[in-house]
């Protein structure tokens, strides 16, 4: 009976040889090319095509003049981290570098192969890089971590392929995701500033960090958390103290060319505390949901003679291991996210999916810790 009657010959041959490789185990020797062609009734061209595909998947290994062997890396899984923006551009956050290193370390500890890709458009018109397109087509990846918010088309494209995917972001189109609990940042920041005696607290969110409207509402979860946190502390909510409030209740207005988060922080501080600003509208405390935005803000504040920690209190996001706020840390309240915690949660969910099981929850939220 022909074992390849219901699939293309190459597909069926790959399936058969994969099953054989798993049965024999790593480093075992397979029959010769001639033996396989004769016993399976396939041509040398078809067999070569299948063997090349399986070699790319680390299932078999061909040794010239020696034979065909089961790969010693047979059970090794390949994980790809896909980032949705250019991390090499000026003003890019160091968070990606921290995430890449944490993911590389986690993969190595589990004997998994790790690859990094940028989700930039390919020459063929795909929303991801050519290298990633090729590896997806060749089925070299067993799982993908997709980091970022700025390329939903890439997520949609990847979801159409048979590979486990976990989004390290809000990205609501991804069925499985690990995200930062930004509303918790807001609650923690407001409570901390209120304890320090602040009476007029602002919220600064750069474009891209306000991550989605509350279902059925025009507000955002971060903005809702801000209102509730102020109410709990018996403090007033003032829309003028939210940067930029209009971008959170309507479609965000993205500057052209887009400003980096650091530039947005510099602009916010310059406008809110500049000479033309009304002193009565200035907050005495600010919760900032991005360390790069804070970096830009403290530079502008220094030029304006405003001293964080003295006449202005700032509670800011930061990443463990980052040096973005070095030199300013003792004058700021730091709410810290550990990239290792994000990676551990992401890999746990991804490995569950790769094993053919269902994770306990579709979303894992990583909460900040107040650095003491």
Q: What is the mean pLDDT of the chain?
A: 86
Provide the pLDDT for residue 294.
97
* Region of poorest pLDDT, from 79-88, 158-167, 255-264: 255-264
pLDDT surpasses 80 at 200: yes
Give the pLDDT confidence of 56-104 residue by residue, as tens digits: 777 889 998 899 998 877 777 889 999 876 666 666 677 888 888 898 8
Query: Using an 8 Å Cβ cutoff, are 136 and 164 in contact?
Result: no
Q: How many CB atoms lie within 10 A of CB 356?
A: 7
Tell me the domains of the chain and their CATH numbers: 9-70 (1.10.10.10), 78-175+341-366 (3.40.50.2300), 182-337 (3.40.50.2300)
Give the pLDDT confidence of 129-141 residue by residue, as tens digits: 889 998 998 888 9
Give the pLDDT confidence of 286-337 residue by residue, as tens digits: 999 999 999 999 999 999 999 999 889 999 999 999 999 999 999 999 999 9
pLDDT surpasses 50 at 255: no
Cut 0.85: pTM above it? no
Residue 92 to residue 150: CA distance in whole angstroms: 14
Provide the pLDDT for residue 183.
94
Task: Please state the φ and ψ torsions of residue 6, each to the nearest 5 degrees.
Answer: -110, 5
Residue 282 to residue 201: CA distance in whole angstroms: 9
Provide the pLDDT for residue 91.
60
Residue 24 to residue 7: CA distance in whole angstroms: 24
């Amino acid at each position: 009976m022909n074992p390849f009657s219901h699939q293309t010959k190459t597909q069926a041959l790959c399936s058969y040889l994969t099953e054989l490789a798993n049965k024999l185990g790593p480093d075992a020797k397979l029959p010769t090319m001639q033996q396989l062609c004769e016993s399976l009734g396939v041509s040398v061209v078809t067999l070569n095509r299948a063997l090349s595909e399986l070699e790319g998947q680390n299932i078999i290994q061909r040794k010239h003049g020696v034979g065909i062997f089961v790969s010693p890396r047979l059970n090794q899984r390949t994980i790809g981290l896909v980032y949705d923006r250019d991390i090499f551009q000026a003003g890019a956050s160091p968070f990606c570098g921290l995430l890449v290193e944490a993911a590389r370390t986690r993969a190595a500890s589990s004997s998994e192969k790790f690859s990094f890709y940028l989700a930039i458009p390919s020459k063929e018109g795909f929303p991801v890089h050519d290298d990633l397109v090729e590896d997806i087509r060749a089925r070299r990846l067993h799982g993908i971590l997709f980091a970022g918010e700025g390329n939903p088309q890439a997520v949609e494209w990847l979801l159409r392929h048979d590979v486990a995917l976990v989004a390290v972001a809000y990205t609501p189109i991804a069925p499985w995701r690990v995200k930062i609990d930004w509303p918790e940042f807001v609650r923690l920041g407001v409570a901390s500033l209120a304890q320090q005696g602040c009476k007029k607290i602002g919220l600064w969110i750069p474009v891209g960090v306000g991550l989605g409207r509350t279902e059925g509402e025009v507000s955002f979860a971060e903005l809702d958390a801000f209102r509730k946190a102020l109410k709990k502390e018996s403090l007033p909510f003032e829309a003028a103290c939210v940067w930029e409030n209009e971008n959170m209740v309507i479609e965000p207005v993205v500057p052209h060319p887009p400003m980096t988060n650091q530039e947005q922080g510099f602009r916010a501080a310059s406008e809110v505390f500049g000479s033309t600003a009304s002193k009565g509208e200035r907050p005495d405390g600010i919760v900032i949901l991005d360390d790069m935005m804070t970096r830009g803000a403290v530079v502008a504040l220094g030029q304006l003679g405003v001293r964080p920690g003295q006449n202005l209190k700032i509670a800011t996001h930061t990443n463990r291991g980052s040096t973005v706020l070095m030199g300013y840390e003792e004058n700021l309240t730091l709410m810290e996210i550990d990239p290792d915690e994000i990676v551990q949660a992401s890999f746990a969910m991804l490995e569950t999916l790769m094993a053919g099981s269902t994770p306990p929850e579709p979303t894992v939220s990583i909460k900040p810790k107040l650095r003491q």
